[in-house]
Amino acid sequence: MTAQSPSGTPHQPSTPTTPSAPTESTESTESTAPTTPTTPTTPTGPLVRTAHELRAVGAGGPRAVVMTMGALHEGHATLIRAARERAGTRGTVVVTVFVNPLQFGAGEDLDRYPRTLDADLALAVDAGADAVFAPSVDEVYPGGEPQVRIAAGPMGERLEGASRPGHFDGMLTVVAKLLHLTAPDLALFGQKDAQQLALIRRMVRDLNFPVEIVGVPTVREDDGLALSSRNRYLSAGERRTALALSGALFAAADRLAAQEALRARATALPGAQERAGTRAEALSRLGEARSAADAHAVARASGGHGAGAVRAAARAVLDEAAKAEPPLTLDYLALVDPADFTEVTDDHAGEAVLAVAARVGATRLIDNLPLRLGGTASPEDPTFGATP
C-alpha cells in the first residue's frame, strides 16, 4: 500500500489487479520505490516446492523473504520490490506462497481461498523475486498439524485476535516454520496488518530469531482504500461506504495535526529580545499572549488534544457511515500502543496505532494508521513500532 499523507491523499496510487475470492485472512500489502527485477537463478527455475530445493537457491549476499498466501496483487508486488531493493543485486529474494490451514477458524472456508500459482509466479518474478517457494501442506507440516505451536500470548487475543480466536497462533507458527525453512537475513511484512507485524516482531525478539523484520507502508488505491483482494468484491455502493475506514483514519490524523499546531502556538512565548521597546511593541506582545491563550482555549473546546481528539474524529466518520446505504458495521476502533496493542490513555505521548475493522455487506475490511501523539503522523516510517 502506498504511504498516505495525514490529510488522506495517497502519494502513490496502485494498479488495479485481478480479483480473488473474499476471505477473512490477514494480508501483507506494502509499498516502496520500484527497482529493476533480477533474473531468477535457481537450478530448478523460479518455482521450488521442497526445502531441499530451497537450500540450493542463492549464492551469497543477503537473503530477503516475503511471505504470502498467494493471490498476489500490486500490493504484494511493491513489497517484493522493497525486498529486492534491500537485498541488492547480489542478494536473493524468496517469495513464499502457502495457504496456511492453521490460520483459518470456524466459518472461514479454507477450500474457497484462491489458488492462482501461475499468475503469482509471473507477478513475483516480474517484481524481482529470485524464487517462489510454494510447498505442500505435507512439506510444511510433515505428519499432520503440529502438536507444538507458537502461542501469541495476550497481544494475540486483542482486536483481530478477539474477532478470530486462534488466528495469530496459527500465523506465528507458520511464520516461525518459514523463517527456519527460508533462513533469511531479513523478512518484509506490511504495515496494513499492523497487529500481525507487531506480533512477528515480538516473537523474533522473544525467541531470538536471527532475522531483521522490516515493516513496509500500506499501499492504497486511488481513492484511499487500503489495497486488498477483497476490495474487488465490493459493489459500487459498498465501496462508497467502505471509504469511511480510510476516511476515519485521515480525519483523525488531520485533527491530531491541527491540535498539535494549536498546542505549539499556545506554548510559544515572545523572545527575550522583544521585552524592551516601544508602546507598539508592548501591545504586539500582549496580542501574541492573547492569541496563544485563545489557541489553548480552542484546543480544549474542540475535544482536547491527543488521544481523545483522535478517537472522536475517527468515530464521527464511522458513525455517519453506519447510517449509509448500505451501512458500515463497525467491529472495532482502537487507538493502541504498537508495542502490545493495548489502548493508550488520553494523556499518552509517543507512538500509537489507530486501527479499525468493519463489515460492509459480506466483506470484512481492516485498516490502520501509525500516529505519533505529541508529534506528527508517521505512516511512512518502516521502523515504526520496532523495538530497539
For 19-75, the DSSP string reads: ------S----B-----PPPPP--TT-SEE-SHHHHHTS--SS-EEEEEE-S---HH
Helix (H, G, I), strand (E, B) or coil at 205: helix
Q: Which of 86, 264, 306 is nearest to 188 (CA)?
A: 86
Joined grid coordinates for residue 145: 498439524
End-to-end CA distance of the chain: 25
Supply the pLDDT for residue 2: 35
Supply the pLDDT for residue 325: 97
Cα 335-336-341 angle, rounded to 5 deg? 145
Spatial separation of the C-alpha atoms in residues 320 and 241, rounded to whole Å: 10
CB atoms within 10 A of CB 187: 24
Spatial separation of the C-alpha atoms in residues 225 and 53, rounded to whole Å: 39
pLDDT tens per residue, the chain (388 residues)? 333 333 333 433 333 443 433 433 344 333 333 444 444 444 556 999 999 999 989 878 999 999 998 889 889 999 999 999 999 999 999 999 999 888 887 666 677 777 889 999 999 999 999 999 999 999 999 989 999 999 999 999 999 999 989 999 999 999 999 999 999 999 999 999 999 999 999 999 999 999 999 999 999 999 999 988 778 789 999 999 999 999 999 999 999 988 877 767 766 655 544 544 565 565 555 555 555 455 444 444 444 457 999 999 999 999 999 999 999 999 999 999 999 999 999 889 999 999 999 999 999 999 999 999 985 455 555 555 665 4
pTM: 0.76
Helix (H, G, I), strand (E, B) or coil at 349: coil
Q: Are 74 and 219 in contact (CB under 8 A)?
A: yes
Cα 201-170-383 angle, rounded to 5 deg? 15
Proportion of the chain in helix, strand, coil states, percent, rounded to 5 = 40, 15, 45
H/E stretch holding 350 reads strand 350-360
Q: Are 159 and 80 in contact (CB under 8 A)?
A: no
Cβ neighbours of residue 278 closer than 8 Å, sequence gap 6 or more: none
Ramachandran region of residue 58, left (φ > 0), alpha (ψ -120 to 50) or beta?
left
Supply the pLDDT for residue 108: 67
Amino acid at 36: T
Supply the pLDDT for residue 58: 84
Joined grid coordinates for residue 339: 508495542
Q: Are 336 and 159 in contact (CB under 8 A)?
A: yes
Catalytically active residues, by annotation: 76
Q: Are 19 and 31 in contact (CB under 8 A)?
A: no
What's the chain's Rg over C-alpha atoms? 23
Spatial separation of the C-alpha atoms in residues 103 and 101, rounded to whole Å: 5
| Residue in the structure block whose three cell numbers are 527497482 | 35
Supply the pLDDT for residue 10: 40
CB atoms within 10 A of CB 107: 7
In our burial notation (b when 16+ CB lie closer than 10 A, e otherwise), range 4-41 reads bebebebebebeebeebebbbbbbbbbbbeebebbebe
